[in-house]
Structure 1
Amino acid sequence: MPLARTSDSLLSDVLKIILAVILPPLGVFFEVGLGKHFWINVLLTIFGYIPGIIHAVYIIATR
């Protein structure tokens, strides 16, 4: 049974998504720390800003 999302966690996710649009690795960092997803996002952002945003929003939305 999945846990219900509280209004605090929803607000937190919205703020992380806003950060992810401005600077994608920052949003991923606040979600997962300095793990593999952070470094993947750094590479995607370097190679193309839009893929970095898509990956960041995906990571934030699925966790």
Structure 2
Amino acid sequence: MASGRCCTFLEILLAIILPPLGVFLRFGCCSMEFCICLLLTILGYVPGIIYAVYVLVALDSDQYQREYHTLA
């Protein structure tokens, strides 16, 4: 379990430094979360950080993957 918390901590740290990078590591390059985060970061650095941290903390990537593969 410590490994999961460590990965989440590193993703959040990267999301603070460069918001799309943290989201990319969790959801991949062509996900809607990444595109929104990239757009918000281009429009303003702080909204990108807020969205990236929200996505990394609030969304469960396993649930996201199951829903994506069900729709595809």
Which stretches of structure 1, 4 residues or longer, exceed 2 Å deviation after superposition?
none
Residues matched between the structures, number: 58
- The TM-score, its normalising length taken from structure 1, stands at 0.88
- Comparing both structures, which one devotes a greater share of its residues to helix? 2
Q: Identity of aligned pairs, percent? A: 48
- The TM-score, its normalising length taken from structure 2, stands at 0.78
- Structure 1 residue runs without a partner (length 5+): 1-5
Q: Aligned equivalents of 1:57 and 1:17: distance in 2?
A: 6
Q: Aligned equivalents of 1:31 and 1:60: distance in 2?
A: 7
Q: Aligned equivalents of 1:55 and 1:27: distance in 2?
A: 11
Q: Aligned equivalents of 1:61 and 1:27: distance in 2?
A: 11
